Structures are given as C-alpha cells and as structure tokens.
Amino acid sequence: MRRKLNKSLTLTAAVLLAIGMPVASAFAMGAPTPASVSKVIPNKPITLRIFTTAPQNKVSQAVATVFEKKYPNVKVIVQATDFPDYAQGIQLALKSSNGPDIALAANAFSSKNGLTINLAKYSKLYGWDKIIPSTVAEQWKVTPDYKTMAGSIQVALPVDINIVGLYYNKKLLQQAGINTLPKTLSELEAALASAKKANLLPIQMGNSQGHASFLIQCIGQSQDGAESAAKWALGVSNSTFATTGNKLGAQKLLDWKNAGYIPSDVNSYALQDAVTNFTQGNGVFLNDGNWDAGTIDAAMGSNVGFIPFPGTNVVAIGGGDAFQISAKSKNKDVAAAFLNMLISAQAAPLAWSNGFLPVNVANAKGTTSLQNDILAAYKKISNANGIVSFNNNVTPSMAQTLTTTTQALLGGQMTVDDLINTVQADWAKSH
C-alpha cells in the first residue's frame, strides 16, 4: 500500500515536473532590493543588454554610443521589438537566464514575481526624484501586491513623457472663423459647431482600438481635476469612475457623434488612420498624444499647433517610456549608471531629436513650431501638476474594456451609464 502511494506520488511529481508547473514557485512576490548600490563602474569588460521597443531604441542607441565612449570597457547592446510582441514576451525574457540587464517596462505591474529590482536605492543615490515630476514618477511606483500605483516599490525609471492634448489645423481653424484657441469646454464646443457649420469635420478620430476613450478622460479630468482623476487612474482603493467629469465626457462623446462632430464610421478607423486623415486636411482638431508629433510635423509643418485639452483645469493624460533593471542582471550598478545617463541633460537633445519629449526638459528646445507648442503645453501642465496616468493602464484588461465600451457607446449599443458601470466593474476586479 505504502509502496503504491509512493509510486503515485512519484508519478504526480514527474508529471508536474514534465509540464513545468511552478506550483510551489521559487518566485517571491515583490521586488528584490540590491544589498548595496554604487556609482562606481568596475574596470573590467562588461556587456550591458537592453530590451526596448521601436522607435525608443533610437534614443537608447544614441545614448549607448555616448555611454560606451565614457566607459570604454562597457559594451551596450540594444535590442528592439514592436510593442505588442514586446509586451507579450518581456516577462519570459526577464525570467530566462539570458535575458536583458535593462528592459523597457510593458506596464507598472508586468514585472511582478520578482523579475525586476526595486530602484528606490538608486533613485536616492542619483537624486532621480529631483528630475522626474512626481505625477510621472508615481506611475512607476507600486504597492507590494503589484495592484496599485503610487506605492513604495519603484519598479521603473521614466525617461520620456507622453502627453495627450489637442492638435489643430491652423488653416481650417481660420476657414471655420475660429479666431481664438478654445480654453474651456464650452469654447471648444462653440468652435466645433463653427467648424461643422463651415462644412468641415470638427474632430478627426479613430476608435477601432479604443482611442475615443482619450476624449472621455480629457473631459473627465479637466472637470474633476488632476488629483481626484489620478487616484482612480493609479488604482487607489475606494476611487470611482462614476464622477461628474467622466459622465460628462462620455455624454459629450456621444453627443458629438450624434451632432456629426466626429466621423460617423469612427469605429472603423484606427488612431493611425485618423492621424493620416488629419494630416491630409480632414479634421480641424485631433485629440492625440505627442508620440505622433513627428509624423504630423513632417506632413503639416507650420500649419499645425498643439494645446492642452481645453477645460476648467489644466491637465493632460500623460505617461511615457520607463526602464527597469532585471533582478538577474550581474551588472546592476552599471545598468543604473546607464539609466542615469538616459535622463541626463546630455541625453535630452538625443531624445528630442528622435521625436521624444525627455523627462529632463530643463535644456530641451524644440526646432519646429509644433515641438515648441508641445514643450510649452507640457511646461504649463507640469507647473499645474496636471499629469494623470492613462486610464487604460490601470488594470491589465482596461485597454480592452475601454475599447469595447466606447465602440458600443458610439455604435448605439450602450448607454453612458452602462459604459461608466462596466469600466468601474473592471477596475473593481483588481483594486
């Protein structure tokens, strides 16, 4: 009997081993903290591997060249993948024995199970908190259960900033008889009505991937204020999506669809289609982030401008690329030194020239009117401490939920209240 039991236990163990099931996992929760941190780079041959996405890799590569010059014993290898594939593979890469030293964070929660280290000690050592705006930094600090942002574990260092605002076509604005740029929601609405009257498409938009949710968030947080909106977007418990601002945002989205202010077949267009259409003169406004500034600038030149989204509060949806240090890296001090260079004043022009707004904007100067508009908008928003994390990052499924619900709202399949409740239900599952 005993022998039989032993045999079946052995068999079970063998089956579990065979299919690689980490039932009793060796991966602890939380992020390991290095015992000691140092600014000193050892004087021996070192290879630093960086996994990132295109087009961020251009900045990393440019900084790598400078870094290698400063530390000739260090060789930096930058490897890039497109974001969707990257996000799905990076955890396994970090878990593998030949993974990267530095990795672009897919999101704030993706490196749980101890895959990357807590950067808090390095942050203190280098004084990173003095450079990074707190509203951006807290998007990469999580609670020990990896479910809420604005926590104590610093999982990544943000290196550049994305802000979502309002692009406008200067010629079309004139054609619609709009002489001043809208500063409030009602001024924006009046401008949209004038554009419609002039037979122009007021707002260019694409929602096949859910980007109409930008409009809800922009209106919502400009009404509710950055502080309260950020709580929900960071996953702070007891927050709700059912705010006056968000309801107004969803209602305006629907009203503007019905009024013909946005394309009737908005669910068939992706954001990139909307960008292309906007650059071809189809649409007076475009609610989009500065990551498309390069494309828009190249196509429209001085005919395009950028402002923070009009509303009661000066706010913007904002985030950016952030880097993590692998728990398996043998050169964590070197990796930290590289991250420090990525956010240095020296690297800022390298980010800027590749279309990125560096976190270290002290010395950043635009070379085109659009770049200067974005810089001015960022400074205004930053001074008002108005950056709010992307709503779609708050849970792993939120991007999909926002896509599905905004499509349903615009397709007449869902009410404003249903949208608010469905979004809150997704949020409540994780927080």
Partner 1 sequence: MRNKGGRESIKSATTFIAPAFILYTIFVIAPWLAAIFFSFFNWDGIGEAVWNSYRNYIQVIKDPEQLQSIKNSILLIVFFSFIPVFFGLISATSISNLSAKSKIAKISRVVIFLPQVLPLVAVGISWKLIFSPNGIINQLLSLVGLGRLEKGWLGDFNFAIYAIGIVGIWLGIGLCSLLFSTGIQKIDKHLYESIQIDGGGRIREFTSVTLPSLRPEIRFAITITTISALSGFDLVYVMTNGGPGGKTLVPGLEVFRLAFTYQQFGQACSLAVTLSTITFAFILSVNKLLKDY
CA distance 82 to 104: 12
What residues from 403 to 422 belong to the interface with partner 1 (CB under 8 A)?
Answer: 403-405, 407-408, 411-414
- Find the binder of partner 1 among 170, 346, 396, 431 (CB under 8 A): 396
Instruction: Give the nearer residue to partner 1 in terms of CB position, either 65 or 413.
Output: 413
| Shortest Å distance, C-beta 94 to partner 1 | 9
The position carrying tokens 């709580």 is: 231
| Shortest Å distance, C-beta 24 to partner 1 | 7
CA distance 413 to 422: 13
What residues from 234 to 253 belong to the interface with partner 1 (CB under 8 A)?
Answer: none
CA distance 343 to 358: 7
Applying CB under 8 A, the span of 64-72, 131-139, 264-272, 371-379 interacting with partner 1 comes to 264-272
Query: Binding of partner 1 at residue 49 (CB under 8 A)?
Result: no
- Find the binder of partner 1 among 11, 13, 14, 21 (CB under 8 A): 21
DSSP bridge pairs for 165: 288
Query: Binding of partner 1 at residue 209 (CB under 8 A)?
Result: yes
Q: How many CA atoms lie within 13 A of 389 on its CB side?
A: 30
Instruction: Give the nearer residue to partner 1 in terms of CB position, either 340 or 422.
Output: 422
Query: Binding of partner 1 at residue 81 (CB under 8 A)?
Result: no
- Find the binder of partner 1 among 9, 11, 29, 242 (CB under 8 A): 29
Burial class (CB in 10 A: 0-12, 13-18, 19+), 406: buried
Alpha-helix residue ranges (DSSP H) falling in 127-263: 134-137, 170-175, 185-197, 213-224, 226-234, 244-258
Q: Which amino acid is at 61?
A: Q
157-158 and 357-358 as β-strands: parallel, antiparallel, unpaired? Answer: unpaired
CA distance 137 to 149: 10
Query: Binding of partner 1 at residue 112 (CB under 8 A)?
Result: yes
What residues from 320 to 359 belong to the interface with partner 1 (CB under 8 A)?
Answer: none
- Find the binder of partner 1 among 95, 121, 380, 431 (CB under 8 A): 95
| Shortest Å distance, C-beta 214 to partner 1 | 17
- Find the binder of partner 1 among 25, 152, 186, 258 (CB under 8 A): 25
**φ, ψ (nearest 5 deg) of residue 197:** -65, -35
| Shortest Å distance, C-beta 162 to partner 1 | 20
Instruction: Tell me 40's DSSP state.
Output: P
Burial of 12-25, coded b for 16+ CB within 10 Å and e otherwise, reads: eeeeeeeeeeeeee
Applying CB under 8 A, the span of 60-68, 86-94, 192-200, 386-394 interacting with partner 1 comes to 86-94
Query: Binding of partner 1 at residue 397 (CB under 8 A)?
Result: yes
Applying CB under 8 A, the span of 116-124, 206-214, 296-304, 312-320 interacting with partner 1 comes to 206-214
Instruction: Tell me 20's DSSP state.
Output: T
Query: Binding of partner 1 at residue 30 (CB under 8 A)?
Result: no
**Sheet strand arrangement including 157-158:** 74-81, 46-53, 102-104, 322-325, 157-158
- Determine if the peptide bond prior to 396 is cis (ω within 30°): no
Applying CB under 8 A, the span of 3-11, 90-98, 298-306, 374-382 interacting with partner 1 comes to 90-98
Q: At what angle do helices 398-410 and 213-224 cross, to 10 degrees?
A: 100
- Chain residues in the site for partner 1 (CB under 8 A): 18-19, 21-25, 27, 29, 87-88, 91-92, 95, 112-113, 115, 207-209, 263-269, 396-397, 399-400, 403-405, 407-408, 411-414
